[in-house]
């Protein structure tokens, strides 16, 4: 698995996860919990907060709502 440094906080790494409520891949920073779509650039101004992202899609923003991507 490749780790990408987070362009928002510069601290965490951005990893692919499956958001279980939708079954779709997203990319999430493990430090600041910024969320990006699975494709496209990691825009430092184009993220959503995981909690807000999840709450719009039937989740609560907990890490156990994510499954790490297999690759």
Contacts with Zn ion, 1-30, as mask; x by CB under 5 A: -----x-xx--x----------------x-
Which listed residue (5, 20, 25, 31) binds Zn ion by CB under 5 A?
31
Tokens standing for residue 28? 């999430």
Shortest reach from residue 5's CB to Zn ion, in Å: 8
Distances (CA, A) of 36 to 29, 46, 50: 9, 7, 9
CB closer to Zn ion, 7 vs 22: 7
Q: Does 32 bind Zn ion (CB under 5 A)?
A: yes
Could you tell me which residues are beta bridge partners of residue 34?
A: 49
Handedness of CA 25, 26, 29, 33 (dihedral sign): negative
């Amino acid at each position: 698995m490749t780790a990408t440094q987070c362009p928002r906080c510069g601290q965490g790494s951005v990893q692919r996860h499956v958001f279980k409520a939708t079954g779709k891949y997203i990319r999430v920073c493990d430090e600041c919990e910024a969320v990006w779509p699975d494709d496209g650039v990691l825009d430092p101004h184009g993220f959503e907060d995981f909690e807000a992202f999840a709450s719009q899609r039937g989740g609560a923003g907990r890490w156990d709502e994510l499954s790490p991507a297999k690759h």
